[in-house]
């Protein structure tokens, strides 16, 4: 009788245990590496979860952050994208390798190796941050749709949420994954909006390569927001779980690395064009914006209606992609912590608790969105929580993926470890900057 490798066995109900990693000698490892070599003709077939992760990183809340950064600081913080990209690639690759090698999700590994209390703290922090982000994303998605249609935004919140719940729970996983992958195409709209903005490309590229620091609270708040929305904790849980969903094992690690690298670079490239658009059009006019919808509206009189509609299209597409990912990234760690069955590939009747958490996350987000709460405040507080939890999670990732008892012969190489610890340092510096900004200016009113 064959066994489905993705179906949790009875031990999963008692609290999942970590399967022993594959023990490979150096010769076998070289053979695996040779098997993993990717030809150019295979690249399109490789792309999948990493591209989805990179696209989901630019959710409406993230687009708002990048828009505000560009409007307030011009191109001055472009260099942070160049700094964050390799760190994001390494962190996501470590998350993927955990799923590839152990066939176990990140929350389960943290609970198993660091204890239930630490696991519960991590999962609770991620859940709260995710729900706040879901509320902000739903409100921004509805607001942009209202901007285009002229209909009050509140009428779009529930229909969008219902669509996301239906796609996540009732659509076959393979179809759902293709839906998420193809939605990434919508981000080309930001390249178009940047072209229509007619920026000084030499100035934008120079600011990307040469660091510039403005010692002002506004600059540091923007830097914290930019790093916080780029290296995001929910993506760690999503990436590890999607490697299990996609059944990409150790034989596919090189292909997984390529997929993730392309996805993270794509994410940063789109963030670059968003900042370039608002930095070129809104920054010279000192235009004050508080959301992505404000940015789209402000672009019209300065860069024309096409720039406005392209920018708005990108926001709508990003919401339709990111909201299901964030909801699933809420259900994965909760189910992993509590030992429930967890898989988007399962029927809802076979993983009821997992889908219940997913649906409840979106439902609570709807309540935040229609309650009239300020999406910028929700975004700010979610970033504070992410800022607290992200360095700790990266420490866990580096330690777990550097432990032979967990990873076998697939432990981190020294260069990966160095970049992993550098990511921890950068995130901690961002946290210190956030504390400084709050101490100097207070919490947002």
If you ran DSSP here, which 8-state letter would residue 296 be given? H
Higher confidence at residue 444 or residue 239? 239
Least confident range from 74-83, 102-111, 425-434: namely 425-434
pLDDT at 2 over 50: no
Can you count the helices (H) and strands (E) in the chain?
21, 0
Assign 16 to helix, strand or coil.
coil
User: Domains along the chain?
Assistant: 53-441 (1.20.1740.10)
Highest mean pLDDT among 285-289, 354-358, 405-409: 354-358
247: left (phi over 0), alpha (psi -120 to 50) or beta: left
Q: What percentage of the chain reaches a pLDDT higher than 70?
A: 86
Tokens of 233: 């904790």
Q: What is the DSSP letter of 47?
A: -
pLDDT mean across residues, the chain: 83
Contact 421, 164 (CB under 8 A): no
| Mean pLDDT value of segment 99-106 | 90
Give pLDDT tens digits for 233-280: 999 999 998 888 877 767 677 788 888 999 999 999 999 999 999 999
- Residue-level pLDDT at 30: 53
- Alpha-carbon distance of 54 to 44, in angstroms, equals 16
The mean per-residue pLDDT over the stretch 325-346 comes to 91
- pLDDT of 429 > 90? The answer is no
pLDDT tens readout for residues 108-135: 999 999 999 999 999 999 999 999 999 9
Count CA atoms within 13 Å of residue 143 on its CB side.
24
Tell me what the mean pLDDT of segment 151-179 comes to: 88
Identify the residue whose tokens are 């998420």: 180
Q: Quick one: average pLDDT of 297-322?
A: 84
Least-confidence region, from 109-118, 221-230, 265-274, 390-399: 221-230
* Average pLDDT score over residue span 379-399: 85
Question: Residue 427 — pLDDT band, cuts 50, 70, 90?
Answer: confident
Q: What Å distances lie between residue 401 and 82, 298, 356, 390, 407, CA to CA?
A: 25, 46, 31, 16, 6
Q: In whole angstroms, what is the distance from residue 39 CA to residue 33 CA?
A: 13
Q: What is the DSSP string of 92-109?
A: HHHHHHHHHHH---HHHH
- Scanning 282-304, the segments in alpha helix (DSSP H) are 292-303
Q: Does residue 204 have a pLDDT over 80?
A: yes
Q: Which two tokens stand for residue 278?
A: 């608002």
**Is there a contact between 293 and 147 (Cβ–Cβ < 8 Å)?**
yes
172-181, 244-253, 350-359, 426-435: which range is least confident on average? 244-253
Mean pLDDT of 75-100: 92
**Do residues 129 and 326 touch, judged by C-beta distance below 8 A?**
no
What letter does residue 40 receive in the DSSP assignment? G
pLDDT in the model for residue 387 = 76
Answer for the pair 152, 359: CB distance below 8 angstroms, yes or no.
no
Residues 354, 425: Cα–Cα separation, whole Å? 34
**pLDDT value of residue 199:** 92
For 43-80, how does the pLDDT look when each residue is reduced to its tens digit (9 = 90+)? 445 556 778 888 888 888 888 888 888 888 899 899 99
Dist. CA 424–CA 94, nearest whole Å: 13
* pLDDT of res. 163: 92
Name residues whose C-beta falls within 8 Å of residue 254's C-beta, 6 or more positions apart in sequence: 33, 36, 37, 38
* Averaged pLDDT, 399-412: 90
Give the mean pLDDT of 145-167.
90
* Lowest mean per-residue pLDDT among 22-31, 287-296, 318-327: 22-31
Residue 167 has pLDDT above 50, yes or no: yes
Backbone dihedral angles phi then psi of residue 137, each to the nearest 5 degrees: -65, -45
Cα–Cα distances (Å) from 422 to 83, 249, 256, 436, in that order, read 10, 27, 22, 21
Sign of CA dihedral 8, 13, 18, 19: negative
Percent of the chain with pLDDT over 90: 37
Residue 249: the pLDDT is 63
Q: Return the ∠ at Cα 238 (arms to 236 and 243), rounded to 5°.
A: 100
Q: In whole angstroms, what is the distance from residue 53 CA to residue 329 CA?
A: 11
Structure tokens, 419 = 């970049």
Across the range 311-323, mean pLDDT stands at 88
Query: How far apart, in whole angstroms, are the C-alpha atoms of residue 163 and residue 168?
Result: 9
The predicted model scores a pTM of 0.83
């Amino acid at each position: 009788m064959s066994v489905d490798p993705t179906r949790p066995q009875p031990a999963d109900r008692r609290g999942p245990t970590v399967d022993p990693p594959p023990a490979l000698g150096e010769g076998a490892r070289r053979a695996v590496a040779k098997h993993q070599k990717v030809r150019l003709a295979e690249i399109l077939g490789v792309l999948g979860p990493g591209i989805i992760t990179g696209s989901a990183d630019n959710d409406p809340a993230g687009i708002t952050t990048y828009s505000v950064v560009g409007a307030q600081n011009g191109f001055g913080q472009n260099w942070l994208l160049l700094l964050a990209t390799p760190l994001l690639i390494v962190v996501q690759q470590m998350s993927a390798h955990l799923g590839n090698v152990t066939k176990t999700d990140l929350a389960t590994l943290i609970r198993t190796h660091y204890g239930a209390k630490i696991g519960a703290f991590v999962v609770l922090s991620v859940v709260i941050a995710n729900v706040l982000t879901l509320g902000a994303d739903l409100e921004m998605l509805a607001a942009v749709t209202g901007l285009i249609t002229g209909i009050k935004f509140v009428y779009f919140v529930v229909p969008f949420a219902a669509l996301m719940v239906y796609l996540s729970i009732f659509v076959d996983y393979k179809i759902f994954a293709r839906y998420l992958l193809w939605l990434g195409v919508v981000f080309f709209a930001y390249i178009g909006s940047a072209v229509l903005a007619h920026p000084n490309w030499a100035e934008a590229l120079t600011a990307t390569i040469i660091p510039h620091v403005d010692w002002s609270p506004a600059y540091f708040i923007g830097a914290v927001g930019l790093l916080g929305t780029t290296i995001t904790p929910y993506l760690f849980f999503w990436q590890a779980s999607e490697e299990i969903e996609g059944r990409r094992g150790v034989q596919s690690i090189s292909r997984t690395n390529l997929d993730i690298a392309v996805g993270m670079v794509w994410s940063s490239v789109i963030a670059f064009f968003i900042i370039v658009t608002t930095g070129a059009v809104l920054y010279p006019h000192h235009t004050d914006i508080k959301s992505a919808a404000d940015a789209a509206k402000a672009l019209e009189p300065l860069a024309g209606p096409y720039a406005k509609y392209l920018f708005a299209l990108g926001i709508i597409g990003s919401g339709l992609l990111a909201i299901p990912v964030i909801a699933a990234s809420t259900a994965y760690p909760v189910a992993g912590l509590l030992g429930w069955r967890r898989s988007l590939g399962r029927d809802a009747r076979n993983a009821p608790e997992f889908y219940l958490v997913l649906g409840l996350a979106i439902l609570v987000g709807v309540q935040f969105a229609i309650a009239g709460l300020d999406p910028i405040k929700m975004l700010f507080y979610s970033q504070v929580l992410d800022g607290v939890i992200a360095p700790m999670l990266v420490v866990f990732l580096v330690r777990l993926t550097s432990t032979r008892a967990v990873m076998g012969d697939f432990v981190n190489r020294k260069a990966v470890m160095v970049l992993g610890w550098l990511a921890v340092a950068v995130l901690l510096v961002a946290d210190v900057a956030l504390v400084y900004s709050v101490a100097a200016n207070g919490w947002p009113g």
